[in-house]
Amino acid sequence: MSWVRPVLVVGIAVGTLASAACSSSSSPTSDSAGGVVIRLTGSDTMVNLNQAWAENYKKVKPEVSVQIAGGGSGVGIAGLIDGILDIAASSREMEAEEIARATKTAGAEPKEFVVGLDALAVYVHEGNPVQSISLEELAEIYGEGGQLVKWSQAGVKNTACTGDEIIRVSRQNNSGTYVYFREAVLGTTRELRLGSIDQSGSKDVVALVSRTPCAIGYSGMAYAAPGVRALPISKKKGEPGVAPMLQSALDGTYPISRPLYLYSHGTPTGPVKEFIDWTLSAAGQQILQDVGYVPAPAAGQ
């Protein structure tokens, strides 16, 4: 599957994967008041978005509670495979082996929905004078055997960084953001080198970079915060960089844009289908844009 074929909680239950495991059913459960509970877990990049959707959907369908948890794309996909979730949120595609296991569990192949786009941003401390960066330079900073270990080697005089060392902030390897960044920057044959400071959440990456003048890190564009700058990125060194924003993600000029996915057990029906359809409606896509992401191509029409 490929994406080129063609979030504030009021009155909702926010759960964890562990609490979802109390039920092994692959269809929505009922709460104590007899309402419908939809279990949605996965991508930490999408957790704020999913919470915003859940809160607003509660206003549309008061009888439906959408339980939201993060933990990473891998956690959501594992929950879908094990049959303890109704929907998995992921910032990467499911792999063939994961699809096969989920199909065996549910008796139907998971259904993929592209619900939005994210321009994966590369952040530096606001005091870092670097103006842009290329994919080639990112590969030499993050990649195994990479030669860029000091800011001065990249032509940057970072006076706030007394040691000159480039401190690499990354995500843990169960993160869809980690998987996408590795493949987009390094390809499929090269690994990220050891020694980075790995964070469990998208917000954690940005927070650490904001406190660390020598740092560089990657996270969703919706997690921009005071104390950091998102760098324009080019494919090759010397080319003009493109900033991460709605238009550059939509037209493909930003080099590391990615789709955001929801996965269900087979073709969804009933409350699960109604919720996913709503996320793709004009109302759902406006919420996605308000949170800081890019509407899905052809969604909300």
Residue 53's domain is classified under what CATH number? 3.40.190.10
In a domain, 2, yes or no: no
pLDDT band at 30 (very low <50, low <70, confident <90, very high): low
CA distance 41 to 84: 10
Q: Is 11 domain-assigned?
A: no
Residues 125 and 236 in one domain: yes
pLDDT in the model for residue 284: 97
Residue 31: the pLDDT is 56
Give residue-wise pLDDT tens across range 54-78: 999 999 999 999 999 999 999 999 9
Q: Which residue has the higher pLDDT, 14 or 192?
A: 192
- Model confidence band, residue 34 (pLDDT cutoffs 50, 70, 90): low
> Which pLDDT score, from 0 to 100, does residue 2 have?
36
Does residue 3 form part of some domain? no
Q: Over range 167-181, report the average pLDDT.
A: 93
Q: What is the pLDDT of residue 246?
A: 87
From CA 80, how far away is CA 86, in angstroms rounded? 7
- The verdict on residue 228 lying in a domain is yes
Domain that holds residue 225: 118-251
Query: Higher-confidence residue: 10 or 199?
Result: 199
Query: Do 26 and 126 sit in the same domain of this protein?
Result: no
Taking only the tens place, the pLDDT of each residue in 97-155 is: 999 999 998 899 999 999 999 999 999 999 999 999 999 999 999 999 999 999 999 99
Q: Tell me what pLDDT residue 5 has.
A: 31
The reply to whether 129 falls in a domain is yes
What's the token pair of residue 196?
């980075």
pLDDT confidence of residue 8: 29
Q: Are residues 49 and 168 in the same domain?
A: no
Q: 217 pairs with which residues across the strands?
A: 123, 169
7 domain-assigned = no
Pair 124, 234 in one domain: yes
Total domain count, the chain:
2
Q: What is the pLDDT of residue 17?
A: 36
Indicate if 24 and 128 belong to the same structural domain.
Answer: no
pLDDT score of 23 more than 60: no
77 found inside a domain: yes
Within a domain: 8: no
